[in-house]
Amino acid sequence: MIIAPPNLGRRVLRVARPLMIGLDVAWLQEQLGVSLADGKFGPLTASAVVAWQIEQGILGDGIVGPATWRKLGVGAPLAPAVFIPPTSTSGLVSLIERALRAVKAFDPAGWAAILAPDMQRMGIITAARIAVFLSNVTHETGGLTRLVENLTYTTPGKLMETWPSRFPDLASEKPFLRNPQALAEKVYFGRMGNVNPGDGWKFRGRALYQTTGSNNYTALGKKTGDSIEAMTNATSVLEQRPGAVRSAVIFWDSMGGNALADAGNSREARRRGNGGYIGLDDVLAREATIRRASA
């Protein structure tokens, strides 16, 4: 058992560089049941804080400030106010909104309010995790402007650039320009569980991470409880903001996104999220912009 140190509650604890270290961190870790109470406030501790904060009905931002100390039974801490998140939009919502504004995403305030609760639940709360996650989903959705894959190509050469193995020359592209349904069948039929005519179009990319293919829709439905019909009809839940966000954080968790972001492996995060490296340069540029905005 770790005895509460004299300075308990006098610091605001958060993920920082260098890592915040001390007996107050170790005491906190023991209270929250962190497996290794090493006295270092890293991403695992922050995730445990978020889960506990949400259970207590307070803002789940992973930051141990005055309100969190009080909930822990530590009275009247002398934490410097400069560390307290802004109260206008507060905590994680504010961080996400600032990141989205930096990359010129659509409706940053509206999206931030919807993204924050699900990002909290999945522990996407550190600067690195936020940057890698948001850089990918804003790339996939054209800055949060579309929640269903745009398969209407009009410029010769673009299909060759996107799917070089399927479109080796301009002549092979021609039947599929301005023909999104035919294109969906061409590039997606016979893959990812798409075995019936029309599956390529039915299971085209939707939501923030562009969930694609019958197998992926089926796996997602098992976690969300949504039927295939609900995910693929004209009012698809994946084309509405709450469902689009929920599907994205579930996918991020399934691909080990937090661990990749913690390790600084943005390239592998792109590969797992995209199935390749299409758009990697834009994603990395967005990530750098978000990191600068969050500094």
Q: What is the pLDDT of residue 16?
A: 81
Nearest to 141, CA basis, from 238, 27, 52, 71? 238
What's the confidence (pLDDT) of residue 107?
A: 94
Distance CA 12, CA 151 (A): 48
Supply the pLDDT for residue 90. 54
The pair phi, psi for residue 159, each rounded to 5°, is -70, -35
Q: In this structure, what token pair is assigned to residue 30? A: 């023991």
Q: Is the dihedral of CA 127, 252, 94, 100 positive or negative?
A: positive
Q: What local confidence, expressed as pLDDT, does residue 230 receive? A: 96
The pLDDT assigned to 83 comes to: 37
The contacts of residue 146 (CB under 8 Å, 6+ apart) are none
Place of tokens 């990697």: 280
pLDDT for the residue 88: 33
Greatest CA separation for the chain: 75
Place of tokens 């931030």: 112
Nearest to 66 by CA among 5, 9, 4, 8: 9
Query: Is this prediction's pTM over 0.85?
Result: no
What distance in Å separates the CA atoms of residue 50 and residue 63, rounded to the nearest whole number? 8
Q: DSSP readout, the chain?
A: -PPPPTTTTSS-B---SSPEESHHHHHHHHHHT-S---SEE-HHHHHHHHHHHHHHTS--SS-B-HHHHHHTT--S----GGGSPPTTT-HHHHHHHHHHHHTT-SSHHHHHHHHHHHHHHTT--SHHHHHHHHHHHHHHTTTTT-SB------STTHHHHH-TTT--SHHHHGGGTT-HHHHHHHHHTTSTT--STTHHHHT--BTTTTB-SHHHHHHHHHHH---HHHHHSTT-GGGSHHHHHHHHHHHHHHTTHHHHHHTT-HHHHHHHHHSS-TTHHHHHHHHHHHHHHH-
Kindly list the structural domains of the chain, giving each domain's residue range(s) and its CATH number in brackets, ordered by start: 20-83 (1.10.101), 88-149+205-295 (1.10.530.10)
Stretches where the chain sits below pLDDT 70 are 75-90
Cis peptide before 85 (omega within 30 of 0): no
